[in-house]
Structure 1
Amino acid sequence: MHKRRRGLLLVLVIMLMGLFLFFGMKLRPATQTTTRNSESSAVQEEMSENVGDIVQDIAHLAQEGRAPDIPFAAGEADQQAVHAKWGKPLQVTESANGQYEEYQDVTIGYQGSKAFDIRSFKEDMKKIHLTDIKNKLGEPDEVRYYQDPTTKQIIFVYQVNDKYQLKWILPKPTDSDANPVVHHISVYTELTEQVTDTVEQMTLDEKIGQMMFAGVSGTTLQQETTSLIHDYKVGGLILYGNNLDTPQQTVTLMNALMAANVNNQLPLFLGTDQEGGKVVRLPGPLKNFPTNQRIGDINQSSLSFAVGQLLGEQLKAFGFNLDFAPVLDVNSNPNNPIIGDRSFSNDPDIVSKLGIETMKGLESKQVIPVVKHFPGHGDTAVDSHLELPKVTKSLDDLNQLELVPFKAAIDNGADVVMVAHILLPKIDPQYPSSMSKDVITGMLREQLDFDGVVMTDDMTMKAITNHFDIGRAAVDSVKAGSDVILIAHEYANVTAAIQAVKAAVNKGEITEDRIDDSVRRIIALKQKYQLANQPVKAVDINSLNTDIEKVLNMYMK
């Protein structure tokens, strides 16, 4: 009996010891894990605070136009000083914004010889995540997106003061990486002082001349064209197919136009309609592209970007610096007599995507894209070359369809918007879009926040001339907010518009400050694309055609 009790006691003791050991083992790691988690959390918090300090330091330096460990300031440093301190750059790239010089982990952008963009790719940037920026600086003043065939980026823009912007460039967040690290930063300023100085030195006649984009006659330099350049100092010239006969003749004419402008203070915009498809102006035997509708059917961003690049190469080779393209009209009306297959699609999202890629392709070759025809020509049943079309849609309707591609293009940095001759009675029952303050200032400037150059469609189209005197139309268009008046035909029409605008200024109907606003935008655009009107050499048509064939063979099989 006693032996049995002792045996039971021994079993109980062993069981209790086992339970003690078991629970002891279970509890000890939990305590250690809690300690480790606490330590890890403290380290992460300390790291986050350190990153926050870096973000704050960057923002503070940006207020002076500087980035960490870079001894130059945007808006102050000039190219010569940078070269004296750092030597020759590793690489030089021309872009729509200016010339960029790359060093080991810094890139500096110049307009002329002045630095306007300081970009840092230093290692410290890779410690900073998207959420770190927002946690320290709050929501950005503006969010932009950049995309090309190989890159998708999100850009947070902070206006750190009146002079400088701080831009954080990161990979676009995805499901697999919702909190990406910074790729680089940009401290950016607009070189407005230089533009303002130029405007202040100009006469009223010179300012009004810059606001005119004139057509020319003939295949050689005519006396009337020389007068437009010498006497009226027009800002730009548009050429059509009847001006461009052969490659050699075109080069000769373009060089003559540039030579005629050599003594003027500002270079010329030299533009044409090179859309691809049925609207092309450059002379053969240059190969053509398929219609935008066909490109829309394929619906590949990389194709549209490549087409934009090749259009830019063609135009640049002949001496042009501006393309009246891409078309951003949504082809929503199958009976439309003027847009049709010039549009990418009846889907505004496809038009947005492909139009923006074409725009960026042109920009990459330093050719100015002019997106058209705001606020949308796709639902008209009348050709504005022949009569004034009417679209009876409300603003809400337009926001749902026609305005979608234009908003997207503006959000992606469009520099020039062409306004169409369309009557929108629910917006403005009196004036067509190209003369309407409700459309140009209200919709385009204020609603869509566009601060670039506004250009009219050709004011000699019958949509205007059947209803308005061309001089009066030019005045009303400027009053509505247009910066550039396009008058594509007849010397007398151009001079009439110039004289009417000048008379309106002299009698106080238009203030000279209003003229100055437009001229500042025009000059800034010419500086951004580094227009210089350099003479061009003979065009290598075979090389251009080979490049086109490569792209077409890749996508059109």
Structure 2
Amino acid sequence: MNRQRAGERPPLAAIFGCEGTELTAWERDFLRSHNPLGFILFARNAASPSQVRELVDSLRETVGRESAPVLIDQEGGRVQRLKPPQWRRLPPAEPFGWLWNDAPEKACRAAWLHGYTIAGELSGLGIDVNCLPCLDLRVPGAHDIIGDRSFGADPRQVAQLGQAVCDGLLAGAVIPVVKHIPGHGRALVDSHESLPRVETSLAELETSDFLPFQSLAGAPWAMTAHVVYTAVDEEEPATTSLRVVQDIIRGKIGFDGLLLSDDISMKALKGDFASRTEKALAAGCDVVLHCNGERAEMEAVAAVAGPLSEAAFQRLEKSLQARGGDGLPFEEALNELGGLLP
């Protein structure tokens, strides 16, 4: 459905975080005024299930859209925003890779259950997008920012387990976000702190790092890598590189879902926040992600982001239609998962 014909106010091509466990008066006014596409939550925003549910409802109320996406990074292991004891402890990706080495079918079933049970917890809170799975390869000698967040070094293994997690999340009515396209596994530095440069040839990237993303080119959402791939673009990281987005992500990989930048407040990116936003959108990202809740940065992003494009809106609508309920009882799925993991 064309949003203009529907009479809707086009959302801003941005997703924002907030500072705490409830919205401030300034945040309410800012979000109501600028109408971002959606929101993202972190550990600082989560004190209890009832509080998170109230915060999610408040966020959607500011923009007047019950369908406004609410995102989180609920991977497991080191990256788990909803933490014990209020929420269950989740495993990282690595154990699923260990299981795949001995029993691929069991590993894929476990990965599906992992996605499905996470979706069950998130759906109860009103969170409908999870930044999972990581399709980055485990590369010896690379920085451990990926590390055990990866399913392994074999592209086929990563693709199969990643697909299973995506399918599980969708069966639980949560949209997956594959990351970090076109591959963060070779980075020698943490992109939160500085800009990684990958010197690997294009031929090698095409037969390794790119393959899991190519296998999951039909995923509804993907998140970019703040990584320079010198074989494609000597200067710009994927997030702000027209060559990487158009030639590799949309071209060779064939991804046609909603493309979300990684957090533009990370130190890998240079320049002020207006220029970061403009460059990411000009390169072909559909939406920019800003996570830290800093007022001045958010204002700078909102001033230049502009409305979501019609093509991006269609990708968003398609992603919403991909969700469906499996009907497997949550406790049954949880017990089955516990019996499969090593």
The reply to whether TM is greater than 0.5 is yes
SS in 2 for 1:319: coil
Say whether 1:447 aligns with 2:252. yes
Matches within 5 A, 1:512-523: 515-523=309-317
Say whether 1:494 aligns with 2:301. no
Q: CA, structure 1 residues 527+225, in 2 after alignment: closer, same or farther (shift >3 Å)?
A: farther
The letter of the residue matching 1:554 is G
CA distance in 2, matches of 1:445, 1:198: 28
The letter of the residue matching 1:287 is R
Matches within 5 A, 1:302-381: 302-381=109-188
Aligned to 1:63: none
Q: CA, structure 1 residues 335+482, in 2 after alignment: closer, same or farther (shift >3 Å)?
A: closer
Q: CA deviation at 1:528?
A: 5.1
CA distance in 1, matches of 2:257, 2:142: 32
The letter of the residue matching 2:82 is L
Aligned to 1:214: 16
Aligned to 2:26: 224
Q: CA, structure 1 residues 294+468, in 2 after alignment: closer, same or farther (shift >3 Å)?
A: same
Q: CA deviation at 1:202?
A: 5.2
CA distance in 2, matches of 1:288, 1:555: 16
Q: CA deviation at 1:442?
A: 1.0
Q: CA deviation at 1:450?
A: 1.9
Q: Pick from 288, 291, 304: which aligns with 2:92?
A: 291
Q: Pick from 281, 286, 293: which aligns with 1:478?
A: 281
Q: Is the 8 A contact 2:175 2:320 kept in 1?
A: no
Q: Once the two structures are aligned, what percentage of the paired residues are identical? A: 29
Question: Superposition RMSD on alpha carbons, in Å?
Answer: 2.2
Q: CA, structure 1 residues 395+224, in 2 after alignment: closer, same or farther (shift >3 Å)?
A: farther
Offset from partner CA, 1:67-94 (integer Å, 9 cap, x none): xxxxxxxxxxxxxxxxxxxxxxxxxxxx
Q: Pick from 243, 254, 261: which aligns with 1:438?
A: 243
CA distance in 2, matches of 1:353, 1:244: 32
Q: CA deviation at 1:314?
A: 1.1
Q: Is the 8 A contact 2:113 2:334 kept in 1?
A: no
SS in 2 for 1:378: coil
Aligned to 1:235: 37
CA distance in 2, matches of 1:232, 1:298: 46
| Count of residue pairs the alignment pairs up | 330
Q: Is the 8 A contact 1:380 1:389 kept in 2?
A: yes
Q: Pick from 396, 419, 424: which aligns with 2:224?
A: 419
Q: CA deviation at 1:361?
A: 0.4
SS in 2 for 1:235: strand
Q: Is the 8 A contact 2:117 2:334 kept in 1?
A: no
SS in 2 for 1:462: coil
Aligned to 1:66: none
The letter of the residue matching 1:291 is P
Aligned to 1:468: 271
Which structure has the greater CA radius of gyration? 1
CA distance in 2, matches of 1:521, 1:227: 28
TM-score (normalizing by structure 1): 0.56
Q: CA deviation at 1:258?
A: 2.8
CA distance in 1, matches of 2:14, 2:118: 25
CA distance in 1, matches of 2:323, 2:253: 23
The letter of the residue matching 1:494 is M
CA distance in 2, matches of 1:500, 1:553: 47
Q: Which has the higher contact order (CA 8 A, sep 6+)?
A: 2
Offset from partner CA, 1:512-531 (integer Å, 9 cap, x none): 8x93332333344345559x
Q: CA deviation at 1:238?
A: 0.4
Question: Which segments of 5 or more consecutive residues in structure 1 lack a partner in the other structure?
Answer: 1-193, 503-511, 531-542
SS in 1 for 2:304: helix
Q: Is the 8 A contact 1:329 1:343 kept in 2?
A: yes
Question: Which segments of 5 or more consecutive residues in structure 2 lack a partner in the other structure?
Answer: 101-106
Q: Is the 8 A contact 2:96 2:341 kept in 1?
A: no
Q: CA, structure 1 residues 440+198, in 2 after alignment: closer, same or farther (shift >3 Å)?
A: farther
Aligned to 1:509: none
